[in-house]
Amino acid sequence: MSRDTAALDPSRQFHHWWNNERFRGILYQVLLLAAVVGVGWFLVSNTLTNLNARHIATGFVFLDHEAGFGISEHLIDYVPSDSYLRAFAVGLINTVEIAVLGIVLTTLLGIVMGVLRLSSNWLVARLAAAYVEAMRNVPVLLLLLFCYSGITVSLPLARNAYSLFDCIYLSNRGLKLPAPVWDASTQAVTAALVAALVLATLVSAFARRQLDRTGRSLPVARITLGLVLGLPLAVFLAGGAHLSFDVPHLAGFNFAGGVTVSPEFAALLLGLVAYTGAFVAEIVRSGILAVSYGQTEAALALGLTRMQVLRLVVLPQSLRVIIPPLTSQYLNLIKNSPLAVAIGFPDLVSVANTAINQTGQAVEGVTIIMTIYLGLSLLISVLMNWYNRRVALRGGR
């Protein structure tokens, strides 16, 4: 058979393409995508058919309807006559609030406990190890229930609340704090605080570049403290030193006025931070141990203190080991937050469950929950991957 005839032979052409690894890889991906689309189409069409058979309305039109239920905690204005869309927004903001505060506090707790586990003090190291082992082996739901019951049972009733300066009260109804009245002076001080934080970030970035370029370090901590305290104070004094507060006071069986840190919020935040912080502590410990001890010895030989060695030499090098698993723990914290339903905190899942029970729009409600949590997880992943690339070691340095 001639070469031209062989080239036109379909079986030979098929064997030629089949032996091509790239062709097989593309073919497998196309077949997998077709299978996923087919299964998805079957599920969607079957769901719509069953909903129509049961005369259940579909779509997200219900989001414009009146919610008709109250939400105990909300950072934005909300009343039961608002729409379901605003109710979902309140739940989302509550979830984001828990996630942001939880990530910050978990990071701080994990770093402290991870460092203490490596302490040369036997008692300190064993206490840190006991905390890590205890928290990692307790179900997070049980921990949340324990924190909630501990707060509500151990604290007194509102009429017997612990008082500090007759303006801060602690009881089983939560922690009541004075709330600043939002006027022109308060807005100016808040804007000054935001500006101070931005300037402190810029100063920190400039100090880092100067340290890399010249080897000289700036007193970043003192500059940051001066900006954060000094600039708002200067604006406050320039505005006439006028600042008023809404002070809480006892009214019947509860307090009125001020701002409240509820037992549900405190128990959820405490439980998630304590639980996730134990895992972060092990990640930090492994990251520190991954740095050669010769780096520590060299830094001590240069005259650096133990704290300076940890802050300037060990921790920066350990970040490349810490960041990837730390991202997973941040995601776990967010995904564990729906357990707030068990203690009555109105997060996104709690609000969505109420909306589903009232409207019967279960598919739409679950879709909203899944989409929002997927978006939050992807956002955290993108930010952490960006930071991981920023701290990664690069060749030639």
The predicted pLDDT at position 240 comes to: 66
Question: Can you give the pTM of this predicted structure?
Answer: 0.79
What is the CATH number assigned to the segment(s) 84-153+273-391? 1.10.3720.10
Chain centroid offset of residue 295 CA: 33
- Cβ-based neighbour number of residue 269 at 10 Å: 22
State phi, psi for 169 to the nearest 5 degrees. -130, 140
Chain centroid offset of residue 124 CA: 29
CB 133 within 8 A of CB 142: no
The predicted pLDDT at position 255 comes to: 76
Q: Is 119 left (phi over 0), alpha (psi -120 to 50) or beta?
A: beta
Per-residue pLDDT of the chain (397 residues; tens, 9 = 90+): 444 554 556 666 666 666 777 777 788 888 899 999 998 888 878 877 777 777 666 778 888 888 888 888 888 888 888 888 999 999 999 999 999 999 999 999 999 999 898 888 889 999 999 999 999 989 999 999 998 988 888 888 877 778 787 778 888 888 888 777 766 777 777 888 888 888 888 888 888 787 777 777 777 778 888 888 888 888 777 766 666 777 777 777 777 777 788 889 999 999 999 999 999 999 999 888 888 888 777 887 887 777 878 777 888 888 888 888 999 999 999 999 999 888 888 889 999 999 888 888 888 888 899 999 999 999 999 998 888 887 776 654 4
Angle formed at CA 114 by CA 277 and CA 337, multiple of 5 degrees: 10
Task: Please name the residue that has the structure tokens 């924190």.
Answer: 147
HSE of 247, CA atoms in CB hemisphere, 13 A: 9
- Cβ-based neighbour number of residue 17 at 10 Å: 12
According to DSSP H, which parts of 242-314 are helical? 263-289, 293-301, 306-308
Q: Which residues pair with 152 in a beta bridge?
A: none
d(C-alpha 351, C-alpha 88), whole Å: 6
Q: Compute the Cα dihedral for 216, 222, 225, 230 and give only its sign.
A: negative
d(C-alpha 58, C-alpha 62), whole Å: 9
- Cβ-based neighbour number of residue 291 at 10 Å: 17
Q: Compute the Cα dihedral for 89, 91, 92, 97 and give only its sign.
A: positive
Chain centroid offset of residue 328 CA: 11
Residues spanned by CATH 1.10.3720.10 within the chain?
84-153+273-391
Q: Tell me if residue 40 falls in helix, strand or coil.
A: helix
Task: Please name the residue that has the structure tokens 């100016």.
Answer: 188
For the record, the structure tokens of 49 come out as 């058919």
d(C-alpha 73, C-alpha 75), whole Å: 7
Amino acid at 339: L
Q: Is 344 left (phi over 0), alpha (psi -120 to 50) or beta?
A: left
